[in-house]
Amino acid sequence: MAENSGEKPWYKQGLRFECTGCGDCCTGEAGYVWVNQSEIDAMAEVIGMEPAAFENEYVRKIGIRRSLKEYPNGDCVFFDAEQRNCQVYHARPRQCRTWPFWDSNLKTAEDWERTCQECPGSGQGRLVPLEQIEAQRKVFKI
């Protein structure tokens, strides 16, 4: 990709994104929200629990990795369905913070188009410059 070739990526002019607060990225189909220890510690602090107890209650092991649990309908365990918001928003994991600027959504213009169809904030609103997109994309590989 651009990192190796020195060429600018297809989205060099930036991409539009402004969260509409729809909650769609926290709900729906079963999936994973990967977390590491420092993210667990930060969320535990927000909830007011010891990290070990928090992990026991809200985190599941997937092989050697850890993911937040979810409800049977696929909603993240921290998604408040009534308020339609995240209960640990200020300590939400990197995976949530960096949406939608993930490798998997940026590989090609078609991948971004698919993301825009799934997420009403993608492709709309504020123009996010390339530097900011790249900074987010590199935080978390997914």
59 touches ligand SF4 (CB under 6 A): no
Binds ligand SF4 (CB under 6 A): choice among 59, 86, 106, 119: 86
Q: 142 near 34, Cβ under 8 Å?
A: yes
> Using CB under 6 A, which of 11, 17, 26, 39 touches ligand SF4?
26
Does position 76 interact with ligand SF4 (CB under 6 A)? The reply is yes
For ligand SF4, the binding residue among 67, 92, 98, 137 (CB under 6 A) is: 92
Which residues, in sequence order, are CB contacts of 98 under 8 Å at separation 6+? 136, 137, 139, 140
Site for ligand SF4 in 96-115 (CB under 6 A): 96
Query: Per CB under 6 A, does 35 bind ligand SF4?
Result: no
Report the number of secondary-structure helices (H) and strands (E) in the chain.
7, 6
Rg of the chain in Å (alpha carbons): 16
